[in-house]
Chain A
Amino acid sequence: MAKDFFMIAPDHPSFYLFLLFGTVAVITALNVIFQKNPVVSAVSLVFTFFSLAGIYAIMGAFFIATMQVLVYAGAIMVLVVFVIMLLSQRAETLSKFWDNPLKVLALSVFGMLFFFTLFSALQWGVPKQNPETKGYTVSELQTQYQYPINGGTSVTAEGNVAAVGAATYLDYVLPFELLSILLLVAVVGAVILAKRRLTTESTKDSTL
């Protein structure tokens, strides 16, 4: 077990990508919880999400990598930063990071290199090479998934995205629909939470 754990595969280029993305993910995750300024935490969390997207890419889970960038690094982080802006910041938590141009330059260079590497990982990420199957048969091209339907006919899904989509809409239709209801409830709940205060304020004003 220990030998397996320390087995390193440095001949494979994906391993270096994994090392890079894993290191960045851990360092930025530590940065998230140990920074005083919530804005710096949020930016670190964006980097964590992007490095996890890179890790999904080198695993061959391209659909998840795309969703990671769109949903987590995009939508959820926009919400978080929006809320941080609405909360009043105390002066002592604001960082002096942007006062030092050398640090800003270093961060910019690191960011450019990081996103270049992320792009190449999405481009060159190697899916798992294994003909063994469980529920899905993988063709020799490693990109085709035969999705069986009850009657015996089957849907051929080419690529990771198509396979995940086929599984979502054939196997998991009910959870998918329930999820849409849950999203609707969340939206309505958020609106009610935002609205209640306004209505009480207006009634208070009218009584005064």
Chain B
Amino acid sequence: MNALISGIPSVYFLALAGILFSIGLVGVLIRRNAVIIFMSVELILNAVNLVFVTFSKTLLNVSGEVIVFFVMAIAACEAAIGLALVIAIFRQNKSSNVDELQSLKW
């Protein structure tokens, strides 16, 4: 694919999105602090948004940007619920370390 966006090959944007996605994935896997895992998930969502915008611009179809807007709204929902959960778990267990959460273990 050699489509140019503002004079830049769209492959560059996709490569950047891939790198950011990988960094977010590594963060989810190696970190144990729940808030940092949450931030890594945000990185993953941003990488996906970048892919959406890249293809939206490559194919000249505005729908991709609309979907990025929806992804952002859902990320806001996720932030509200997820961080409320982190706070609730921290109150219960005095820790936000995901390794120490065992209440669903049987």
A59 located at the interface, meaning its Cβ lies under 8 Å from any Cβ of chain B in the complex = yes
| Cβ contact of B23, chosen from A26, A80, A127, A179, cutoff 8 A | A26
Chain B CB within 8 A of A45 CB: yes
> CA A119 – CA B20 in complex, angstroms?
23
Tell me the bound Cα distance from A9 to B7 in angstroms.
7
Question: Which stretch from A97-105, A110-118, A187-195 is at the chain B interface?
Answer: A187-195
In contact, B6 and A190 (Cβ under 8 angstroms): no
Least CB distance from B72 to A in Å reads: 5
In order of increasing CB-CB distance, the 9 nearest A-B pairs are A12-B7, A33-B27, A186-B77, A193-B84, A14-B6, A190-B84, A167-B62, A29-B23, A83-B83
Known: A56-B53, A193-B81. A84 touches B23 (CB 8 A): no
Q: Given A32-B27, A83-B86, A172-B66 in contact, is the A133-B33 Cβ separation under 8 Å?
A: no
Q: How many residues of B contact A (CB 8 A)?
A: 64
Contact B75 A130 (CB under 8 A): no
The B contact surface, by secondary structure, is: helix
A128 CB–B CB distance under 8 Å: yes
B101 within 8 Å of A (CB atoms): no
Q: Using a Cβ–Cβ cut-off of 8 Å, how many residues does chain A contribute to the interface with B?
A: 78
List B residues at the A interface (Cβ < 8 Å).
Answer: 1-2, 4-9, 11-13, 16, 19-20, 23-24, 26-27, 30-31, 33, 35-36, 38-40, 42-43, 46, 49-50, 53-54, 56-57, 59-63, 65-66, 68-70, 72-81, 83-88, 90-91, 96
Instruction: Answer yes or no: A122 CB below 8 A from chain B CBs.
Output: no
Question: Does A80 lie within 8 Å of B38, measured CB to CB?
Answer: yes
Instruction: Answer whether A12 and B8 are a contact pair too, CB < 8 Å, given A59-B13, A133-B60.
Output: yes
